[in-house]
Amino acid sequence: AGSAGSAGSAGFPGSAASPGSTGSPGTPASARIVVVSSAAHLRSPVVFDDLHFDYRPYEPMLAYGQSKTANVLFAVGANARWAGDGIVVNALSPGGIRTNLQRHVGDIAAPGVVWKTPEQGAATSVLLAASPLLEGVGGRYFADCAEAEPVSRRPEDLTAMMVGVAPYALDPEGADRLWATSERLLAAD
């Protein structure tokens, strides 16, 4: 990619082509993985004993919530495994962004919810990916460009705007269980 200040193959200075690189030879680069989840994780923990809704009625929003919790747990587990190698992993909620994704689910938002523009929705992702303020910070959950506050219970009204992070989503034991379950499922024929 060239030395700092020289143009790399993409026309960028050499150090810019290697995110996290200091430009010093022998210095390991750092990397960041940003996992996009959702405040919908507040709807459900991962129910490890019934991942596929075999023993309970299938409810699409609970299934979605469970998948979003799994996203956060993946970030916690990956960070625990890879931070020593200079790879930090965080999860985030981009917030409610009016896109074509909602065309199949109807109006799921509470009255008065303010939708974000795509640029506003991307802000937390960009912060986690690039801010020097978050160098070395991993295994956490962010929303609205800040680390989310833990909540003790989900909102009674599940159509309300949900904010915060459920403790079960950041639980290291849950992250380890998800990791082991994922490895087992991936190894299955």
By annotation, the residues acting in catalysis are 64
As a whole number of angstroms, the distance between CA 85 and CA 99 comes to: 37
Number of H helices, E strands in the chain: 3, 4
With left for phi above 0 and alpha for psi between -120 and 50, is residue 53 left, alpha or beta?
left
Count of alpha carbons within 13 angstroms of residue 143, beta-carbon side = 20
Query: Within 10 A of 184 (CB to CB), how many other CB atoms are there?
Result: 9
As a whole number of angstroms, the distance between CA 69 and CA 166 comes to: 9
> Concatenated DSSP letters for 10-26?
TSSBTTTTSTT--S-TT
Q: What is the distance of C-alpha 19 from the center of its chain?
A: 19
